A and B are shown apart, each in its own frame.
Chain A
Amino acid sequence: MKNILRVALPPIFTAMALLVAWEIAVVVFKPAAYLLPSPLAILRAANIDSRQLLNATLSTAISAGLGFVIAAVVGMVCASVLSQSQFLQRGLYPLASLFQMVPLVAIAPLLVIWFGYGLSATVASAAIVAVFPVLANTLDGLRSTDPGLRELFRIYNANRFTRWWKLELPSATPNIVTGLRIAAGLAVIGTVVGEFVSGYAGENAPLGMVVLASMRSARTDLVFAAVALSAAVGFILFGAVSFLGWLSLRKWHASTLSR
């Protein structure tokens, strides 16, 4: 418990201090509300529209979560397949990294054409940006398995599947966790970008749409609220993945043992 406080308190204090400074600055300099609302004003606005914001957050969280899960599964499966064959790796990996260079904003309209407006397009958008870090890190991990341990499995006549399941995959866990943590943040970004293009208004309009709609009606306080909530979604996803990663590594990996 003491350890958790020691890790959690400094960033919390820093954030509080920044918010207080912001509040004071707004009170002192009195900028127009559409330029920079104060933190308390944002909170008040969020409270008034809490129902809509909650629905929006839920909708964004579902899309980011689904996109993340798809990216995690697809990334790990593809990396596992690629790791088994030099030929596939040489042929496909450069293409996969090239795919990563295509700006998401540019392909988002394509996703609308293919998946229509709504959840499927935003999920696809989230999955597309999140898949590459999973793939690249998993592949790195699978390939850097200790040659001594590989030889050990060879001595015991382990087949390919056993070697992958009992040796390569566990030894790649630290890399996989790293990939998943990066993917968690990216999945939320991908979702919001997707929502900008393919979002929909109404009861369950996602956070991306709330941002757009609030901007058009000069409700800067709501824009801030929606941005903060989407950051919170990313933070929770990241935290959950980090916790699961810590659970799987805590007993044996140097990154968790030395603390």
Chain B
Amino acid sequence: MRNASHEAKLGATAQGGLGVHVRGVRHNFNGVNVIGHADVQVKSGGFLAIVGDSGGGKTTLLRLIGGLIAPSSGEIIFTAPSQRAANESASERMHATTAQRPAVGTRASDISFCFQEGRLLPWRNVLENVALPLELRGTPAQERRDAARDMLAKMQLSDSENKMPAQLSGGMRMRVAMARALVTRPKLLLLDEPFGALDEVTRLALDEELRQLWLDTATTAILVTHSIQEAVSLAQEVVVMRGKPGRTLPAIVIDVPKDAAHRTSMQFVALCERVYQQMTLQTHEVAGVAR
């Protein structure tokens, strides 16, 4: 199932995120055109948010990028981080070139997903849930437990390692899901409405935690959300997806400093306003902006 040479290329760069370039992607599902045209780019280690109407193809786009489904047409290109390559050994540097992958069936272990429902195994405790990706990859028991414990410690979840998912609040469950997504040290983190089901206070706290984790791990992150504020406060660039079939609009660069009070700054509000305007464009206007 896996493309071995592709794996090798992706695996060669031990640190840093993957660059992703979605070029002219169109996708049909069961004869219905879900994505009309998607052009999205995120640089290595970047943070991109995709916002848009529900049912507008955001999640489908994320699944296409993650290789869970193959696009009907267009291509998705992955780029290994180039500036980091200088620090790597010579042999690794050779591989630090552009890697293209046919998205069908190839799920590189460098890509991690985080879903809204958390998707924890209810019969496993927190530690065993976090260790799951490593377990399925064949990592020895002690090694994967150590890695999971490290991740839990980093997220201040160590006290909960023996708890079962049913004993956790919704927010805690999402944090465990995040720990699981990050335990493999992914180079690309795909987040599908991760905090969509949480209350506002928890959501703000987890947004901040996610941002911190993204900074620490230097992974590339793509977040699908319906919250404009969440998108603008987390991402470096926001792409709006509109219409049926969905089309991506040109990215909006978020150049607001992300300090504690940034959510109330005039700049932040103005950027939210810009995203909002794109989200409320009439259908005929969408076609004009998108091309």
Contact = CB atoms under 8 A, between A and B. Distances in A.
Interface of A: 146, 148-149, 151-158, 162, 166-167, 170-171, 173, 251-254, 257
Given A156-B132, A158-B136, A149 B68 contact: no
B67 to A, nearest CB: 9
Contact of A253 (B1, B122, B132): B122
A interface, over-half SS: helix
B166 interface: yes
A15 to B, nearest CB: 35
Contacts, number: 48
A156 B109 CA distance: 7
Minimum-distance CB pairs A-B, first 3:
A156-B136, A252-B122, A252-B123
B113 interface: yes
B2 A157 contact: yes
B119 A149 contact: yes
Contact of A148 (B66, B119, B133, B136): B119
Interface of B: 1-2, 66, 68, 107, 109, 113, 115, 117, 119, 121-123, 132-133, 135-137, 164-166
Contact of B68 (A151, A158, A162, A166): A151
B185 to A, nearest CB: 14
B68 A173 contact: no
B168 to A, nearest CB: 12
Contacts of A162: 136
A251 B128 CA distance: 14
A176 to B, nearest CB: 13
A252 B164 contact: yes
Contacts of B113: 152, 155
Given A170-B123, A252-B166, A157 B107 contact: yes
The DSSP consensus for interface residues of chain B is: loop
Nearest to B137: A156
Contact of A251 (B1, B117, B164): B164
A170 B121 contact: yes
17 contacts: A148-B115, A148-B117, A148-B119, A152-B113, A153-B136, A155-B113, A156-B132, A156-B133, A156-B137, A157-B1, A157-B137, A162-B136, A166-B135, A166-B136, A251-B164, A252-B165, A254-B166
Given A155-B107, A156-B132, A157-B107, A167 B121 contact: yes
Contacts of A257: 166
A146 B121 CA distance: 10
A105 B132 CA distance: 49
A160 to B, nearest CB: 12
Contacts of A146: 119
Contacts of B115: 148, 152
B133 to A, nearest CB: 5
B166 A155 contact: no
Contacts of A157: 1-2, 107, 109, 136-137
Contact of B123 (A154, A156, A173): A173
Contacts of A167: 121
A258 to B, nearest CB: 10
Nearest to A162: B136
Given A149-B121, A166-B135, 8 more contacts: A149-B119, A152-B113, A156-B137, A157-B2, A170-B121, A173-B123, A252-B123, A252-B164
A155 B66 contact: yes
A248 to B, nearest CB: 9
Given A157-B107, A252-B165, A152 B119 contact: yes
Contacts of A253: 122-123
Contacts of B123: 170-171, 173, 251-253
A154 B68 contact: yes
A173 B121 CA distance: 13
